A and B are shown apart, each in its own frame.
Chain A
Amino acid sequence: MIYLDSAATSFQKPHSVETAMTQALREMSSPGRGGYPAAVKAADTALECRSEVQELFHVETPEQVVFTMNATHGLNLAIKSLVPPGGHAVISGYEHNAVTRPLAALGAEITVAEIPLFQPEKAPGAFAAAITPETDAVICNHVSNVFGFAQPMEQIAAVCRERNVPLIVDASQSGGILPLDLQNLGAAFIAMPGHKGLYGPQGTGILVCGKDVETKTLLEGGTGSLSRDQQMPDFLPDRLEAGTHNMPGIAGLLAGIRFVRSQGMAQICLEERKLAALAAEGLRTIPQIQVFAKNDLFAQTGVLSFVCKKMDAERVGEELGKRGIAVRTGLHCAPLAHKSAGTLETGTIRASFSAFNTKNEIIQFVETTAQIVSGNIE
Chain B
Amino acid sequence: MKKYLMIARSVTHAQRMELALSRIGIRPQVFHAPLELTAGHGCAYAVQVRESDFQVALKAVYGAGANPVAIFLTDGTQFQEVRV
In the bound complex, residues from chain B placing their C-beta under 8 Å from that of A60 are: 65
In the bound complex, residues from chain A placing their C-beta under 8 Å from that of B15 are: 43-44, 47, 62
Chief secondary structure at chain A's binding surface:
loop
Binary contact readout A181-196 vs B (1 if CB under 8 angstroms, 0 otherwise): 0000000000000000
Residue ID in chain A nearest B69 by CB atoms: A235
Give, as a whole number of angstroms, the nearest-CB distance from B14 to chain A: 8
Question: For window 225-250 of chain A, which residues contact chain B by CB distance below 8 Å?
Answer: 225-229, 233, 235, 237-238
Residue ID in chain B nearest A35 by CB atoms: B31
Number of residues on chain A facing chain B (CB within 8 A): 24
Give, as a whole number of angstroms, the nearest-CB distance from A226 to chain B: 4
A36 to B54, CA, bound (A): 25
Given A34-B32, A61-B65, verify A226-B12 contact (CB < 8 Å).
Answer: no
User: B76 in the interface, Cβ–Cβ < 8 Å?
Assistant: no
Q: Is the CB of B16 within 8 A of A61?
A: yes
User: B57 in the interface, Cβ–Cβ < 8 Å?
Assistant: no
Give, as a whole number of angstroms, the nearest-CB distance from A308 to chain B: 51
Which one of A35, A44, A225, A228 contacts B10 once the chains associate, using CB atoms below 8 Å? Answer: A225
Q: Is the CB of B9 within 8 A of A235?
A: yes
Q: Is the CB of B30 within 8 A of A32?
A: no
A62 to B10, CA, bound (A): 12
Question: For window 5-31 of chain B, which residues contact chain A by CB distance below 8 Å?
Answer: 9-13, 15-16, 19, 30-31
Residue ID in chain B nearest A226 by CB atoms: B41
Number of residues on chain B facing chain A (CB within 8 A): 18
Which one of B30, B40, B43 contacts A224 once the chains associate, using CB atoms below 8 Å? Answer: B43
User: B71 in the interface, Cβ–Cβ < 8 Å?
Assistant: no
Residue ID in chain A nearest B19 by CB atoms: A47
A224 to B11, CA, bound (A): 8
Given A34-B32, A35-B31, A61-B65, verify A228-B12 contact (CB < 8 Å).
Answer: no
Given A61-B16, A62-B16, verify A226-B43 contact (CB < 8 Å).
Answer: yes
User: B44 in the interface, Cβ–Cβ < 8 Å?
Assistant: yes
Q: Is the CB of A63 within 8 A of B42?
A: no
Residue ID in chain B nearest A39 by CB atoms: B11
Which one of A43, A226, A235 contacts B42 once the chains associate, using CB atoms below 8 Å? Answer: A226
Q: Is the CB of A225 within 8 A of B65?
A: no
A177 to B69, CA, bound (A): 38
User: What 8 pairs between A and B have smallest CB-CB spacing?
Assistant: A228-B42, A32-B11, A227-B43, A227-B42, A226-B41, A225-B10, A35-B31, A47-B15
A-binding residues in B (CB < 8 A): 9-13, 15-16, 19, 30-32, 38, 40-44, 65
For this complex, 17 residue pairs linking A to B, each with C-beta atoms less than 8 Å apart, are: A35-B31, A43-B11, A43-B12, A47-B15, A47-B19, A62-B12, A63-B13, A63-B16, A225-B43, A226-B9, A226-B41, A226-B44, A233-B9, A233-B10, A235-B10, A237-B10, A237-B12
